[in-house]
Amino acid sequence: MLMPFDFYFQQFCQNSFFHVKMLNFARGRSQQRSTRSMPFAGVEHHDPKRKGSFVGKILMVATLAALCIIMLKQSPTFRTPSQFSKHEEGVTHVLVTGGAGYIGSHAALRLLRESYRVTIVDNLSRGNMGAVKVLRDLFPEPGRLQFIYADLGDAKVVNEIFSENAFDAVMHFAAVAYVGESTMDPLKYYHNITSNTLVVLEAMAAHGVKTLIYSSTCATYGEPEKMPITEETPQVPINPYGKAKKMAEDIILDFSKNSDMAVMILRYFNVIGSDPEGRLGEAPRPELREHGRISGACFDAARGIIPGLKVKGTDYNTHDGTCIRDYIDVTDLVDAHVKALQKAKPRKVGIYNVGTGRGRSVKEFVEACKKATGVEIKVDYLPRRPGDYAEVFSNPTKIYRELNWTAQHTDLEESLKTAWRWQKAHRDGYGAS
């Protein structure tokens, strides 16, 4: 549950105490037995050598205990119970699931900057410990940031985390999140997205955590006939990723009908960009490259890691035949989360599209990418990819009206430039940073 180092070290300490206790217990009984079997009843047999070894053992136990306590306290993620396990007036403690990932780490940074207390839970299946280290170095003070290595599929562990921590709100980012992969391995998606959201929700209900900000996606809408997409557009997802997210939304909405939970569901469009100050970036697992998002592929091509870009589908019913998407900068996206958190109200559900309201074609994206990186990227045009849809862009009116949120970073080239700076400085992702 804790970081591996802490976990093993705590186990060592616990085992040492246990072991020592067992030894003493055994000795205690044998001493009693030998006292009882003394041939001269009523006469105290005093053995000075035994007394000396007993005192020695007491001293050894005390030294070991002191050593364990000192080392545990020095360990980087040692959790002082008073800070993470107790509610504190004026401090909002947010559980950020998937906080080692791309969007989750940016959200954690913003929350920490705004004085929230943050606990990240991540199984590092797709995230990066390097991102957590960046956050920890920026906010080393006790009680600010805690990292818990755990899998949200393990309900028992999740329950333990909720009983040991006093969360005020949950931002549930953790998920597998590739449309292409979801068509090849749908069960993984239903398990990781739908089933794990149920686990998180059950833990929240059981432990009285009353605010949920849920990461959903425009993929829940499928391929609507009418653009732009509003929150009332019927949700007819056409791939397992979108379906799994829609199911998770349904579970949350059904639960919220008879609960006083404050729920905000944010349906993101396509997320790009990175921290303008260059502290965090997007570093997906290399093995996910083939499913990867267009920005990752664009940077990989610019760096020569892949020979060029593969644009899948040129015969869509759009102005240049390539797919149209609404690209939202991650800085804007986390801003929407903070606003959602601040405006969340008990017994209220808010569902919001988070996009710019402007669609850009893949061809336009590639041109912006070439300009941002300064590299003449080679482009191959291929047949369509299963599960993709022609045109998707948002109507962000509702989120502007109700949360006073609007995208500030709507310049595709600028967002890509920022992300490219991080990519250039981190050629091996977080590995070399």
Ligand X SMILES: NC(=O)c1ccc[n+]([C@@H]2O[C@H](COP(=O)([O-])OP(=O)(O)OC[C@H]3O[C@@H](n4cnc5c(N)ncnc54)[C@H](O)[C@@H]3O)[C@@H](O)[C@H]2O)c1
Q: Residue 380 to residues 104, 146, 243, 284, 316: CA-CA distances in angstroms?
A: 32, 44, 30, 22, 16
Please pick, among 149, 178, 221, 241, the residue that the annotation labels catalytic.
241
Tokens of 185: 């391995």
Question: Of 99, 71, 86, nearest to 8 (Cα)?
Answer: 71
What DSSP character marks residue 408? S
The C-alpha atoms of residue 213 and residue 206 are separated, in whole angstroms, by 17
Region 146-165 residues binding ligand X, contact defined as CB under 6 A:
151-153
Q: Which residues of 18-30 are buried (b: 16+ CB within 10 A; e: fewer)?
A: eeeeeeeeeeeee
Asked if 415 is part of the footprint of ligand X (rule: CB under 6 A), the reply reads: no
What character string, x for contact with ligand X (CB under 6 A) and - otherwise, covers 260-289?
--------x-xx------------------
Dihedral sign (CA 96, 100, 102, 106): positive
The identity of residue 97, as a single letter, is T
The C-alpha atoms of residue 329 and residue 168 are separated, in whole angstroms, by 27
**Cβ distance to ligand X smaller for residue 295 or 322:** 295
What character string, x for contact with ligand X (CB under 6 A) and - otherwise, covers 224-263?
----------------------------------------
Quick one: which of 173, 189, 405, 420 contacts ligand X (CB under 6 A)?
173
Binders of ligand X: how many residues, by CB under 6 A?
28
Q: How far is the CB of 192 from ligand X (least distance, A)?
A: 5
Q: How far is the CB of 174 from ligand X (least distance, A)?
A: 4
Region 175-194 residues binding ligand X, contact defined as CB under 6 A:
175-177, 192
Asked if 205 is part of the footprint of ligand X (rule: CB under 6 A), the reply reads: no
Asked if 104 is part of the footprint of ligand X (rule: CB under 6 A), the reply reads: yes
Q: How far is the CB of 258 from ligand X (least distance, A)?
A: 25
Q: How many CB atoms lie within 10 A of CB 416?
A: 27
Asked if 360 is part of the footprint of ligand X (rule: CB under 6 A), the reply reads: no
Catalytic-residue membership of 241: yes
Dihedral sign (CA 352, 356, 360, 364): negative
Q: Which stretch binds ligand X (CB under 6 A): 96-104, 231-239, 253-261, 412-420?
A: 96-104
The C-alpha atoms of residue 430 and residue 131 are separated, in whole angstroms, by 7
What character string, x for contact with ligand X (CB under 6 A) and - otherwise, covers 41-80?
----------------------------------------
Helices (H), 292-396: 294-302, 330-343, 362-373
Residues at the site binding ligand X, with contacts judged by CB under 6 A: 98, 100-104, 122-127, 151-153, 173-177, 192, 196, 215, 217, 268, 270-271, 293
Active site residues: 241
